[in-house]
Amino acid sequence: MPQEELSDLQRQVLELKRQRNALILAHNYQRYEVQQIADFVGDSLQLARKSAEVSGFDMIVFAGVKFMAEMTAILAEGTPVYIPSREALCPLAGWIGPAKVRAAKERHPGAPVVVYVNTTAATKAECDAICTSSNAVEVVESLGAETVLFGPDKNLAEYVRRQTGVKVIDIEPLGHCYVHQQFKLEHIERMRALHPDAIVIAHPECPPEVQGAADIIGSTGKMVKIVAEPPEKKFIIATEVGLVEQLQHAHPDKVILPAYEGAVCRQMKKTTLEGILRVLRDLPPENLVTVPDEVKDRVREVINAMNALHSAAESAVVAAGK
């Protein structure tokens, strides 16, 4: 995060964080004032990988939605993980549960199941592999199957279908993220007309016609990387506005515009500085993130397999000298 003046409340949080020997992890969609006091800010894959490396802290505060905090609780086992708002539940994760996954398996016996990380731990325990928006294509390709069951996001499924040629069957054909579903082709066309020199980047949770109108499709982590690279100076971003704000602060020399200002994830915004201060101060047992023992080991396995696939892909890129 760039060096900026901090508020009294932010200073209090940082002091308590120091006293508690706590680590604060935050997703790219968090309020900017929360991102500023976090030790690490990233996309869901980067946060999962970071969680697997945690050591030497007495607690973790996870500023994000519950499914992400669950992954951290599984990977950083031994370090208690607190979520500041128990209401920070991703509605996309509600589109499929274990029963829907089992029913899809019965309809398509033998087809491997890939679920998006935006699912509960109980749903992940039913699948063969999990993916994030930054590695969905690689995960599906790694299975070498002609047909794959995929969910819960229909737009990410369509992206994977187009990129891989694999027969991707939706576990829930209506599953979507209400934030990204709001992006319309007209938003992109209007912004392009106003800023013809801008690069348009869209998240793969956006509808296919929005993805089709973008120059680049990628996860929030990919967006951060692309915007940081020279020489381009102007970007139109089709994802949740928290990332746009982060990018505007990080690159005051560049023009970074939201494709649609109404794209606000209400669940991500439930985490506040006050909420973080409260969990650091009171350690409320109801805010401790727990994952049922019966699914923990299986979920750890699929998350580790996903993280390992990503590391292998990175090593291959380094080996190729890119």
Binding interface with ligand SF4 (CB under 6 A)? 65, 90-92, 118, 177, 179, 240, 265, 267-268
Compute and round to an integer the Cα radius of gyration of the chain: 19
Q: How far is the CB of 92 from ligand SF4 (least distance, A)?
A: 4
* Binding partner selected for residue 245 from ligand SF4, ligand 13P, none, CB under the kind-specific 5 to 8 Å limit: none
Q: How far is the CB of 280 from ligand 13P (least distance, A)?
A: 24
Residue 43 contact among ligand 13P, ligand SF4, none, beta carbon within 5 to 8 Å by kind: ligand 13P
Contact footprint for ligand 13P (CB under 6 A): 28, 43-45, 118, 132-134, 177, 205, 219-220
Distance in Å, CB of 45 to ligand 13P, minimum: 6
Residue 43 or 126: which CB sits closer to ligand 13P? Answer: 43
The nearest distance, CB 268 to ligand SF4, in angstroms, is 5
Which of ligand 13P, ligand SF4, none does residue 91 bind (CB under 5 to 8 Å by kind)? ligand SF4
Distances (CA, A) of 30 to 16, 65, 259, 271: 20, 10, 18, 7
Please classify residue 228 by burial: count the beta carbons closer than 10 Å to its beta carbon, then call 0-12 exposed, 13-18 middle and 19+ buried: exposed
**41 contact, one of ligand 13P, ligand SF4, none, CB 5-8 Å limit per kind:** none
| Residues in CB range of 196: below 8 A, 6 or more apart | none
Q: Among ligand SF4, ligand 13P, none, what binds residue 211 when CB lies within 5 to 8 Å by partner kind?
A: none
User: What does 113-172 look like in DSSP terms, one character per residue?
Assistant: EEEESSS-HHHHTT-SEEE-TTTHHHHHHHHT-SEEEEES-HHHHHHHHHHH--EEEESS
Q: How far is the CB of 41 from ligand 13P (least distance, A)?
A: 10
Peptide linkage before 204 cis (omega within 30 of 0): no
In the complex with ligand SF4, the residue whose CB is nearer, 71 or 280, is: 71
C-alpha distances (whole Å) from 292 to each of 49, 70, 90, 309 are 21, 10, 19, 26
